[in-house]
Amino acid sequence: MAELQVQIQSPSPEVRIKAATALGETRSEAAVSILAAALAREESVSGHGVVSPKWPMLRALGTIGGDDARDALLLILDQYLQRGPSDSRYIQNDADYNLVVTSAIFVLTQWHEEPGVVERLRRTRANRASWHRGCARRPTRGACWPRWRRRGSARPPSVPRG
């Protein structure tokens, strides 16, 4: 377990993915805290073809199961949703925002019979729907549109005039 804890802090994403998978296969309660801490400090990746270890970490938490894994997934989902749609800087800095939110919801569906999880997922869906509802009424000024679109410009600032 100590060796996997060192590997999950490796600078190589491939090593972190293998460590997350191995921690998920152990199915121990100690692995939940290691994975949750690693996922919290995992930085977002950018660029084409770059591998993100966030999905294997979320999947490993789902594989382990139990109340601790469920609570860790709910905490991660809450953290991302609280900082997400209202703060555009956060979404720009975290290229994996949608990956983490949808993956956490997907993994949490294995606890679909528990009332706390069902209620939390319903609130998540309602919050996201109400956030997008304002955008549908005013497509040129909604929160989903980029800033250059809201100003009424027909093209982004990076496109030269001419």
Query: pLDDT tens digits for 23-56?
Result: 999 988 899 999 999 988 877 665 556 677 888 9
Residue 142 clears pLDDT 70, i.e. is over it: no
**pLDDT band of 112, cuts 50, 70, 90:** confident
How many angstroms separate the Cα of 21 from the Cα of each of 42, 62, 106?
Answer: 16, 11, 17
Q: Distance between CA atoms of 55 and 57, rounded to whole angstroms? A: 5
**pLDDT band of 15, cuts 50, 70, 90:** very high
State the average pLDDT for the chain. 74
pLDDT the model gives residue 51: 72
**pLDDT band of 161, cuts 50, 70, 90:** low
Residue 124 clears pLDDT 60, i.e. is over it: yes
pLDDT the model gives residue 40: 82
